[in-house]
């Protein structure tokens, strides 16, 4: 019988079972998850602040200074001096039936930059040669399309700066005249 008393077979399992608490465990669980969420947010903020401080360790003062705003953000355009002495020249296009192109190009450079003006004057022959080769490599259809004009000015500016000029740079290119005359 000693075995029967230890196992308590007659009790139907209701004697020692703990009673369930009705709803009193919800609030501690909610507070536990809120605390975990707050701890995660604090950890993320601390990591971000430390990372930013490490990244900016060797940099200078990065505060906003309105006097350092570039032209790009102010909306004002730079005023250029224009080199207009290249003169008009005439070339043929690369088409099977070549068209005649008459071009008068102006080169813009930084205002009062005498060095750039002098270099353009001294390299005028090379600049004209560059322009002749450039326009000879185009078709009449390309040159007649007004949407391509901006692309041409950028290509000419970059080409002259990269291949012709050495100590100064032009800032803009403008066409005083760009005529394409097709052969009949």
pLDDT in tens, 137-155: 999 999 999 899 999 999 9
CA distance 110 to 82: 9
SS3 (DSSP) at 83? strand
Minimal CA–CA distance to 103: which of 78, 127, 70?
127
pLDDT digits (tens, 9 = 90+) for 68-89: 655 555 567 788 999 999 889 8
What gap in Å lies between CA 72 and CA 166, rounded to an integer? 26
d(CA 98, CA 112): 40
| DSSP letter string, 31-88 | HHHHHHHHHHHHHHHHHHHHHHHHHTSS-------GGG--HHHH-PPPPEEEE-TT-E
CA distances to 10, 11, 46, 118 from 4, in Å = 9, 11, 62, 117
What gap in Å lies between CA 111 and CA 11, rounded to an integer?
Answer: 105
Mean predicted confidence (pLDDT) in 159-163: 93
What are the tens digits of pLDDT across the range 83-137? Answer: 999 889 899 999 999 999 999 999 999 998 899 999 999 999 999 999 999 999 9
pTM: 0.57
């Amino acid at each position: 019988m000693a075995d029967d008393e230890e196992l308590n077979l007659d009790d139907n399992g209701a004697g020692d079972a703990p009673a369930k608490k009705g709803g009193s465990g919800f609030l501690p669980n909610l507070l536990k998850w809120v605390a975990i969420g707050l701890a995660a947010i604090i950890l993320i903020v601390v990591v971000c602040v430390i990372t930013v401080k490490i990244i900016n360790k060797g940099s200078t003062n990065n505060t906003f200074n309105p006097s350092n705003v570039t032209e790009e953000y102010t909306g004002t355009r730079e005023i250029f001096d224009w080199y207009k002495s290249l003169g008009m020249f005439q070339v043929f296009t690369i088409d099977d039936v070549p068209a005649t192109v008459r071009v008068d190009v102006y080169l813009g450079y930084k205002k009062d930059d005498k060095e750039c003006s002098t270099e353009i004057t001294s390299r005028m022959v090379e600049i004209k040669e560059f322009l002749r080769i450039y326009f000879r490599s185009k078709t009449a259809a390309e040159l007649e399309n007004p949407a391509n004009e901006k692309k041409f000015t950028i290509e000419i500016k970059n080409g002259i700066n990269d291949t012709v000029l050495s100590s100064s740079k032009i800032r803009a290119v403008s066409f005083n005249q760009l005529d394409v005359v097709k052969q009949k």
